[in-house]
A and B are shown apart, each in its own frame.
Chain A
Amino acid sequence: MTSTESTAGPDPVEPSSGSPAEAPPISAPATRWAARLAYWSVRRELWENRWIYIVPLIVAAVFLLGFTTGAARIPLPFPLPQKIAVAHSLARLLEAPFDFASLVLMLTYLLVAVIYCLAALHAERWDRSILFWKSLPVSDLTTVIAKASIPVVLLPLITFAITVGTHVVMLLVGSAVLLGRGVHIIGLWRQIPLLSMWAALLYHIVTVHALYYAPIYGWLLLVSGWARRAAFLWSSLPVAAVIILEKLIFDTSVFGHLLISRLMGGPAAIAFPPHGNMPMQAPTLANLDAFLASPGLWIGLAVFAAFLAGAVWQRRRQGPI
C-alpha cells in the first residue's frame, strides 16, 4: 500500500483502493499512526473508567476536609518569643499528615489498579462491546497495552499529581491557620523539604507501585480476560493453591516469600527507612542504580510481558461471554 507513505501525518487520508494484505512500511507515519491508535485506546479506557481518577480525587477531598477541620482545632497560640522554634516543630508535626496523605492516596491507587485490572478485559466481553471494538482497525496488542498502561503509567501519574495537589492545599491551609495565630510561617515553609519529598514520592510510586508491581497487574489482566465470572477468586485462588501445595509437597514456602518480597517492594524499598515512614530524603542515583541492577525488577517485567502476551493471545480468540 502506497498510502501510508503518502500520508503526511496521522490524518485519516488514505485512498480507498489498495490491499490490506501489505503491511505498512516501517516509517515515521506508521509509528505516528501506532501512537495515534494507542492514544485513542487509552482515551477509551478513561471514558469507560472515569472512576479511576474520580475516586482518588474524592479521597483527596475527604482527606483535605478532615485535615482542614483538624488544623482549625490546633491549640494555639504559643508565646511569641518561641515562634521560630514552634514553626520548626510544627514542620515536623505537618510531616505526619503529609505522609499520611501520600499513604492514603497510594493505597487508593493500589485498590483502583486491582479493581480496574480485574474488570479491564472482562467488561468488554460481558457487554458484548468487544464485537464493536474488534470491528475497528485496532489490534489486540494495542488494546491490551493500552489497558496495561492504566495501572503502570497513568495511575502512578494521576496519584502523584493528586498527592502533590493535596500537599499544596494542606500547606496553604496549615499556613493560613498558623498565620491567623501569629506564627512566623516563612520559617515553617523553609522547614518542609517539599521538592525532595515529592521526588522521593515519585520515585517510590514509579519504582515500587508501577514497575515492581507490574507482574501483579499483568496477572490480574490475564485473569480478567480469561475468567467468565468471579475474576477476583480466579486471580487469588491459584496463588493460594500454589502456596499450599508447595508447603504440603516440598515443605517450603519459596513462592510465598517471593510474593511477600514483591509486595514489600524488593530492592526498590532500599531507599526507605525501615520504620514505615515515607522517605523525606530524595532518592540518590545510587538508589536508582541499585534498583535498575536488581534482577527482581527485570524478572518481574519479563513476567509482566509474558502475562500481557497471554492476554493478547486470549483476546484474539475471544468473543462475548
Chain B
Amino acid sequence: MSVIEARGLRKRFGSTVALDGIDLDIEPGRILGLIGPNGAGKSTALNSILGLIPFEGELKVLGCDPWASRDRLMRDVSFIADVAVLPRWLRVSQALDYVAGVHPRFDRAKAESLLAKTAIRRGSRVRELSKGMVTQLHLALIMAIDARLLVLDEPTLGLDILYRKQFYDALLTDYFDHNRTIVVTTHQVEEIQNVLTDFMFINRGRIVLSCSMEEFETRYAEVTVPPEHLSAARELRPIQERQVFGRSTLLFDRADRRRLEQLGSVRTPGIADVFVAVIGNAVDGGQGGGNRA
C-alpha cells in the first residue's frame, strides 16, 4: 500500500492555483525530496498531506483522508514544519511530559537518550535555547515517535552547516528504516542529494519531474566538453549548457553514455543543476529559471 496516494490533487487560494492536479504514489521506505521554487506549491502539497488545509481531488495518507481525520492521522505521521514552531514559553521537561501525555507512540526513554547527547538542559525554556538546540529538541521529540511517515518542511532553515549535517545524520542513523517514509522539502538540495531515494520537481502547482535516485544517476549526465567537441556534443541536444571557468559544461537527459564519454569527462550532475535546467526550460520565455530550489 502506498503511504501517500493522490489523484488530481488541487488547491486554489482565491484565484491563485497552488496545486494544479497532482498525482502521487509514495511507497514505504522512501526518502522523497520535494523540490521547487518559492510559491511552487510544495508547502501547499505538504499541508494537504498533513490535514492542515482542505483540498480538492483524492488524497489518502496511510489509507485515510487527512482533512477528515488529522488528529487520528497524527498518531502515525510526524512533521516538523520549520525550526521555529516550538512555543518559546515551553520548558524542555514540559515538552517531554506533554508529548508523552498525548502521543500513544512516544518513547520517552528514547527522547531522553537523544537529548542526553546534546547540551540541552531539562529545565530550560525554548526561548533560552539557540536555534540549533531548538531543532535538536524538536528532532529528539519527533524521532522518539514511532511514526510511519515523517514530513519535514524546510527543517533546517536558518541553521548553520554543522547543525544541518547533524540533523540529517541523526535522521538516517537513528530513525530511518524501511518501514518509514520521509518527505522533505528544502532549499539546500545539494546537502540532501545523497540522503534521498527519490525526488520530485514541483513548479506552478504541477509535478515537472518525478524520479528515483537510481534512475536519476543513469538518466542524467553532465559533461565538460573541450571546445573541439562542442558542436558534436550540441548535436546530442543537451538540456542545458553553461560555462564553468571558461569551459563548456553540458547537461544531458537520456543521452548515450558511451557517446558522451568520447566527448569529455562525464559526471552525475547535482539535482540543483538539473532542477535549474528543467524548470528553466519549462518557464515561458526561459527567464524565470534562476530560482534555484
Contact = CB atoms under 8 A, between A and B. Distances in A.
A142 B71 CA distance: 10
B255 interface: no
B71 A128 contact: no
B62 A21 contact: yes
A43 B98 contact: yes
Contacts of B81: 128, 131-132, 135
Contacts of A59: none
Contacts of B69: 20-21, 23
A207 B147 CA distance: 45
Contacts of B105: 12, 14, 16
Contacts of A48: 87, 89-90
Contacts of B138: 132
B64 A21 contact: yes
B185 interface: no
Contacts of A40: 97-98, 101-102
B78 interface: yes
Nearest to A50: B89
Interface in B63-120: 63-65, 69-76, 78-82, 84-91, 94, 97-106
Contacts of A316: 70
Interface residues of B, number: 44
A134 B46 CA distance: 13
Contact of A19 (B63, B88, B102): B63
Contacts of A250: none
A181 interface: no
Nearest to A40: B101
Contact of A136 (B89, B91, B99, B146): B99
Which of B62, B79, B86, B98 is most buried by chain A, counting CB atoms within 10 A of its CB? B98
Contact of A47 (B47, B94, B146): B94
B53 interface: yes
Given A12-B103, A19-B62, A319-B52, A139 B98 contact: no
B87 A124 contact: yes
B52 A20 contact: no
A37 interface: yes
A19 B66 CA distance: 12
Contacts of A43: 97-98, 101
A13 B75 CA distance: 12
A138 interface: yes
A40 B98 CA distance: 6
Contacts of A19: 62-64
Contacts of A128: 81-82, 84-85
Contacts of B71: 137-140, 142
B80 to A, nearest CB: 8
A23 B87 CA distance: 30
Given A43-B101, A132-B85, A135-B79, A16 B47 contact: no
Contacts of A136: 74, 99, 102-103
- Ordered nearest first, which 5 A-B pairs have the shortest CB separation? A21-B64, A131-B81, A129-B87, A40-B101, A139-B71
Given A14-B75, A47-B91, A137-B73, 6 more contacts: A12-B103, A19-B64, A33-B104, A36-B102, A137-B74, A137-B104
Interface of A: 3, 7, 12-14, 16, 19-21, 23, 33, 36-37, 39-41, 43-44, 47-48, 124, 127-132, 134-140, 142, 316-317, 319-320
